[in-house]
């Protein structure tokens, strides 16, 4: 068997043009598949490793009864995740055994008290212990307490970059910043918190990947509203009252604008919370507050991302196209390998006449084909890096995530070996079945 392996490795140097063409074809197909697999793996990854598996989005349809104008709305069947502030607080009070947070993200401007410096960015407005639940890294200071939130204390947690830009120090704890119409005391400084994608307040699949800078601040909802901060983002407003969002205000009684998250550990806690959520929706429907039939559901983070089709369909389509290209390359390489082995039919016939079994001939050919596959994998590496660079040049919000992981390189090499053996199997079996006497007579 060792001799068969040696002969297979020596055979790589024969007919170098067909071998080079085989390696190139395999490299092109493998590079295309690896590039798309890399992008798909990055887009499908866990946005908050170690944390997101315990987070669940609670939904309850509190919209008004369907109007005729809604029948043509293309998003009428999309998951309804927004809550009114009072409804969210009521649900949080109905099941106090677990940590819950109702939140939204909104554009915001932070300024120094004298207004000489400012920083724009996105901030999270929340009721409940959102920073602790979502693993916001704390560099210094602390998060606000439940009592401070209930009292409407104007406290804030700002990110380190905002602290440096506004206050001239990475530790701005104890200093004031102006937000809206009021001064907020900085009680904590956070590190960069940039989940990929931004699942915590998912307004659209496109927005999940665009504007992915770190949130500049985290504020209690009540204090932010009291300071005149106008939340801007996804919302659904009833058609009565003053019309919901205004330029600088929000109708809290008419608009749904918060996402409600719960931290649940274990199937028992999930089942209890789901039951409480369903009972809450039913009770609100019976009281006339929820006009539609009760519709309550819990989404895990991955389920929520899948429901919103966060991974673009174009990425999956391109992966299928890349797989098609790889299959086409494999068919062509199989033909080239068959031609190589048939051209050496006389040599293989002599080996058979001298007593070599068919298995030895198959091993010799598979070693040659497997080595070609590995060579194709090595050549595919720079081609993959080039393909990922081209992907990053495209401005689709998520394309700068296309960076090769070392684990995917290991997958690439394993795939290249498997592809080489696969494409060489049929030509090797065919070469082993040649009648040795006929081949020797042709010499």
100 or 406, higher pLDDT: 100
Local confidence band at 55 (pLDDT 50, 70, 90 cut-offs): very high
- Confirm whether 125 is domain-assigned: yes
pLDDT for the residue 430: 64
> Are 38 and 101 contained in the same domain?
no
- The answer to whether residues 168 and 198 belong to one domain is yes
Of 71-75, 224-228, 286-290, 341-345, which gets the smallest average pLDDT?
A: 71-75
C-alpha 103: how far from chain center:
21
Full domain range(s) for residue 333: 2-44+312-441
Examine the domain organization and report whether 188 and 248 are in the same domain. Answer: yes
Say if residue 257's pLDDT is above 50. Answer: yes
Mean pLDDT taken over the chain: 81
Which one of 307, 336, 362 terminates a domain?
307
* 268-322 confidence digits (pLDDT tens): 999 999 999 999 999 998 888 888 888 899 999 999 988 888 887 888 898 899 9
Q: Are 363 and 320 part of one and the same domain?
A: yes
Give the end of a domain, one of 255, 285, 307: 307
**Structural domain total, the chain:** 2
For the stretch 174-225, pLDDT in tens is 999 999 889 999 999 999 888 888 888 887 655 667 555 678 999 999 999 9
184: left (phi over 0), alpha (psi -120 to 50) or beta: beta
Are 412 and 345 part of one and the same domain? yes
pLDDT bin (cut points 50, 70, 90) of residue 245 is very low
Residues 109 and 155 in one domain: yes
64 lies in some domain:
no
pLDDT at 175: 94
Among the ranges given (217-221, 241-245, 323-327, 431-435), the one the predictor scored with the smallest mean pLDDT? 241-245
**Mean pLDDT throughout 109-124?**
90
Q: How far apart are CA 102 and CA 88, in angstroms?
A: 7
Confidence of residue 371 (pLDDT cuts 50, 70, 90): confident
Q: Are residues 216 and 203 in the same domain?
A: yes
Asked whether residue 159 carries a pLDDT value surpassing 90, the answer given is yes
Considering the domain architecture, whether residues 122 and 256 belong to the same structural domain is answered as yes
Q: Is residue 334 part of a domain?
A: yes
pTM attached to this predicted model: 0.78
Helix 406-432 and helix 358-393, axial crossing angle in degrees, nearest 10: 150
Higher pLDDT, 365 or 172: 172
In a domain, 26, yes or no: yes
* Residue 330 to residues 21, 81, 327, 362, 364, Cα–Cα distance (Å): 12, 47, 5, 19, 19
């Amino acid at each position: 068997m060792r001799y068969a392996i040696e002969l297979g490795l020596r055979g790589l140097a024969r007919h170098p043009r067909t071998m080079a063409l085989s390696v190139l074809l395999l490299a092109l197909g493998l590079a295309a598949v690896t590039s798309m697999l890399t992008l798909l793996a990055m887009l499908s990854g866990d946005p908050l490793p170690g944390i997101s598996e315990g987070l669940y989005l609670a939904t309850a349809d509190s919209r008004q009864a369907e109007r005729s104008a809604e029948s043509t709305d293309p998003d009428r069947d999309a998951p309804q995740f927004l809550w009114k502030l009072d409804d969210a607080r009521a649900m949080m009070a109905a099941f106090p055994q677990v940590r819950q947070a109702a939140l939204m993200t909104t554009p915001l401007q932070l300024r120094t008290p004298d207004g000489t410096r400012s920083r724009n960015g996105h901030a999270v407005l929340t009721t409940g212990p959102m920073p602790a639940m979502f693993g916001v890294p704390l560099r210094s200071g602390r998060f606000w307490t439940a009592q401070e939130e209930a009292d409407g204390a104007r406290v804030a947690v700002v990110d380190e970059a905002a602290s440096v830009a506004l206050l001239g120090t990475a530790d701005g704890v104890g200093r004031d910043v102006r937000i809206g119409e009021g001064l907020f005391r900085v009680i904590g400084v956070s590190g960069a918190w940039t989940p990929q994608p931004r699942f915590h307040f998912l307004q659209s699949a496109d927005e999940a990947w665009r504007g992915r800078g770190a949130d500049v601040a985290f504020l209690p909802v009540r204090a932010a509203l009291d300071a005149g901060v106008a939340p801007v983002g996804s919302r659904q407003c009833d058609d009565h009252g003053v019309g919901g969002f205004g330029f600088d205000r929000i109708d809290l009684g008419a608009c749904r604008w918060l996402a409600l998250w719960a931290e649940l550990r274990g199937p028992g806690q999930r089942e209890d919370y789901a039951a409480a959520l369903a009972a809450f929706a039913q009770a609100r429907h019976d009281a006339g507050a929820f006009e539609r039939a009760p519709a309550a559901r819990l989404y895990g983070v991955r389920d929520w991302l899948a429901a919103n089709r966060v991974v673009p369909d174009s990425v999956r389509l391109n992966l299928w196209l890349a797989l098609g290209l790889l299959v086409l390359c494999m068919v062509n390489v199989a033909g080239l390998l068959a031609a190589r082995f048939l051209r050496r039919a006389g040599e293989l016939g002599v080996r058979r006449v001298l007593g070599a079994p068919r298995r030895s001939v198959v091993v010799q050919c598979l070693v040659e084909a497997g080595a070609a596959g590995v060579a194709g994998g090595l050549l595919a590496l720079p081609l993959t890096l080039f393909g990922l660079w081209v992907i990053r040049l495209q401005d689709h919000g998520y394309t700068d995530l296309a960076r090769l992981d070392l684990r995917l390189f290991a997958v690439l090499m394993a795939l290249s070996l498997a592809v080489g053996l696969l494409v060489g199997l049929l030509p090797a079996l065919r070469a082993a079945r040649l009648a040795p006497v006929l081949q020797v007579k042709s010499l």
